[in-house]
Amino acid sequence: MRHAQGRARRARAGLVAVLTWAGLLAGAAGCTSEGVGGADSVFGKPRAPQDVIRVSPDDGSRSVRPDNPLLVRVPSGRLESVKVVRAQDAQDSEVSGRISEDGLSWRPDDARLALAARYTVDVVALDAHGRRSARHTTFTTYVPDERFIGYATPENRATVGTGMIVSLEFNREIRNRAAVERAIHVTAEPAVGIRPHWFGAERLDFRPEEYWAPGTRVTVDLALRDVEGAPGVYGIQRRTFTFTVGRSQVSLVDAAAHTMEVRRDGDLLATVPITAGSPKNTTYNGKMVVTEMLEVTRMNSRTVGFGGEYDIPDVPHAMRLTTSGTFLHGNYWAPDAFGNTNVSHGCVGLKDVKGGSSDSPAGWFFDRSLVGDVIEVVHSKDKKVAPDNGLGGWNMGWKEWTAGSAVKQ
């Protein structure tokens, strides 16, 4: 399954002894299963996410005007939680608001949206039977004409995995790439060579040749104010932010063996039984970086180009690996898949229970993961993930990566 919407949180990191989950081979298929008691038999006819939780502005909206209302509502049941985060210049701040007395709607305390910001909305609702549903949406607000900004990843003061790539997505096409590139400085302590790579005219990524060393402190300086990014279009940002690299955790998913080896600082921490993409919906090979972590999320097949194969309102422990919708997540609805067969629509599935449990393999892995951790998939009958599909730049060799700079050295 390739898509998700839900409630996000920062994962905790911790150390445990080496574990092997032999015998825990029941209960999951990545995203949904094919022919093993999958989502349709559990949930009945799929429903589109907007039929349950409605968020305005629409998911993926761009250049939303500041007077456009931000509203969350459900037609029945009640809202359990709503979290809205506003990101400006890599600085996140939570937007205060309140749920109505009848539980059917949420509005912010300040009705006016900020300019040049990215908003993230995470909602969990309960229906009349107490069943949870989740939704995750994002939108960006209006940037004044003749101005450009870059939305930066990761966030300020974050602690990330060793595979984190600094990524800037610009709201307008950058024609003078060399000038913009020269105005952005990414440095590390201890020092390491860091080089940029352009993916088209609206995205610029930075990384070192190898994964970051644990404990590295990275500083990103955006000196874009008054830089001409395109004829008559100037930057408005002057911002510096930092992040810290935590411990090293790299996991190897063997799609043919149906296992995932989790290595912490080079040592084997656990071997977990998994299920990957079915023969009709194989999982990408290659190195993928965790970019988002959701405790609970909705996954709907229609959002990623499938038909009505699945619509699961409460997928637990979901970790985004690609922009196109590949996740590693918990699964409770397809027994006998783990360690035995690949039955998902493209994701990597780990055993979990309805509602999620820290004692399950999926919960255990989620609680010990960070945004920026690396998941590498091998022996899948699919192509290698594209380097611009999520933070997939580690799939490019260093020569190819450095060739993507607009400033020739």
Confidence of residue 332 (pLDDT cuts 50, 70, 90): confident
260 by Cβ neighbours in 10 Å (0-12 / 13-18 / 19+) ranks as buried
Name the residue with higher pLDDT: 207 or 38.
207
Cα 176–chain centre separation = 29
Distance CA 297, CA 185 (A): 36
Among all chains, which residue has been given the structure tokens 């059917």? 104
Question: Are 29 and 275 within 8 A, CB to CB?
Answer: yes
Distance CA 165, CA 48 (A): 33
Q: Bin 209: left if φ > 0, else alpha if -120 < ψ < 50, else beta.
A: alpha
pLDDT at 308: 54
Residue 46 has pLDDT above 90, yes or no: no
pLDDT at 335: 72
pLDDT at 7: 45
Distance CA 106, CA 69 (A): 11
Residue 31 has pLDDT above 90, yes or no: no
Structure tokens at 262: 């989790």
**Candidate ranges 140-154, 185-199, 302-316; pick with highest mean pLDDT:** 185-199
- Compute φ and ψ for 234, nearest 5 degrees: -120, 150
Model pLDDT for residues 92-118, shown as the tens digit of each residue: 899 999 999 999 999 999 999 998 999
Please, what is the average pLDDT of the chain?
A: 87
Report the SS3 class of residue 194.
Answer: strand
CB neighbour list of residue 292: distance below 8 Å, 6 or more residues apart: 8, 319, 320, 371
Confidence of residue 51 (pLDDT cuts 50, 70, 90): low
Question: Are 361 and 331 within 8 A, CB to CB?
Answer: no
Residue 319 has pLDDT above 60, yes or no: yes
Q: How much of the chain exceeds pLDDT 90, in percent?
A: 75
Q: Is the pTM of this model over 0.85?
A: no
Distance CA 79, CA 156 (A): 30
Distance CA 4, CA 318 (A): 8
Residue type, 316: P
Domain range summary for the chain, segments of one domain joined by +: 5-44+248-394
Distance CA 1, CA 386 (A): 18
Structure tokens at 396: 């490019």
pLDDT at 189: 98
The CATH superfamily assigned to 5-44+248-394 is L,D-transpeptidase catalytic domain-like (2.40.440.10)
Model pLDDT for residues 351-385, shown as the tens digit of each residue: 999 999 999 999 999 999 999 999 999 999 999 99
190 by Cβ neighbours in 10 Å (0-12 / 13-18 / 19+) ranks as exposed
pLDDT at 301: 55
